Amino acid sequence: MVGFEGTHFNSDLEFLISTLKVGGLILFAQNIVDPDQVRDLCSSAQARAKACNQPPLLISIDQEGGKVARLKAPFTEFTGNPHIHNIDDAAHFAEVTSRELSAVGINMNMAPVLDVALPGPEGIMRDRAFGDDPAWVTTLGMTVIQGLQAKGIMAVAKHFPGIGKTRLDSHEELPFLDESLELLEKEDFLPFEAAIQRGVAGIMLSHICYRQLDEEWPASLSVKIANELLRKRMGFQGVVMTDDLDMGAVTRHFTINKAIRRILAADIDIALICHKGPAIETAFEELLRITAHDAAARTANEQSLSRIMKLKTEYLGS
């Protein structure tokens, strides 16, 4: 799943869809002008995928409300998760957001944030989380998931296993967290466990290194976290994706080739690369190279394809 530049179908999108055969797109503010333009952009991209005999594209956006909302007026602007005060507020956000996304051809929302914030002003997620009470985060998060998916918008719970306790921004650097598994299970895992039970379409992994879960790799590249914990122990069989592989937490420590190899090893389905650049084509070429020569990687790739196609069939009728 990739980002791109421009507000209309262009040669870059033609290359991404026709040649690299990406499975999805992610939109940012730079791709947005108004509802008619977004609708035309999404329609043109889907038409190109169909013309290439490919399944429908996942077309996603970060529309959390507040500081992370790519769609501005005339789309409805919400004040963000910290200002959702009750279940009715959460249901209203999901109902309005799903309606507006569907109307322009966006089929996936990178929301809700299920991170449990640190009490007080220090946590990195204080302006994006529902709060610091795991039960409250769970209640509001499940309301948003149910509301989005009931209207045909795939919800993506983020950022597993939870980044609410971190103070360093993974957009810039790789944060480390030393919390025990017992504490994470008691607090941070609770909303994600509920999301799995509710059939959330996707889960996004964080670029955080949880030292007591995996001393070496961030969650987004970790076999122990993505495969052994999320898949096997917690039983999630839906689509798992990385956070943006262009973020400093990854680019300052790992090559895109290494990241792709780790993603295949960890049973992760979607590599998210949000910015135009050589990393997208390099990732594509690395996927081809590995799956051509490594039977285990080829099997992992086929399993990911199966999960993605199941999701597309359910929501997009492919």
Q: How many CA atoms lie within 13 A of 266 on its CB side?
A: 28
Cis ω for the linkage preceding 112 (within 30 of 0): yes
DSSP 217-276: S-GGG-IIIIIIIIIIIT---SEEE-S-TTSHHHHTT--HHHHHHHHHHTT--B--B-SS
Q: Are 197 and 234 a contacting pair, CB within 8 Å?
A: no
Q: Distance between CA 79 and CA 122 in Å, rounded? A: 20
The SS3 of residue 114 is coil
Q: Distance between CA 139 and CA 220 in Å, rounded? A: 26
Q: How many CA atoms lie within 13 A of 273 on its CB side?
A: 21
| Residue 107 vs residues 11, 149, 180, 244: alpha-carbon distances, Å | 23, 10, 36, 19
Instruction: Mark whether 244 is an active-site residue.
Output: no
Rounded to 5 degrees, what are φ and ψ at 254?
Answer: -140, 145
- Which residue, 272, 243, 318, is CA-closest to 24? 272
Rounded to 5 degrees, what are φ and ψ at 214?
Answer: -155, 110
The SS3 of residue 37 is helix
Residue type, 276: K
Active-site annotation holder among 243, 244, 246, 267:
243
Catalytic residues: 243
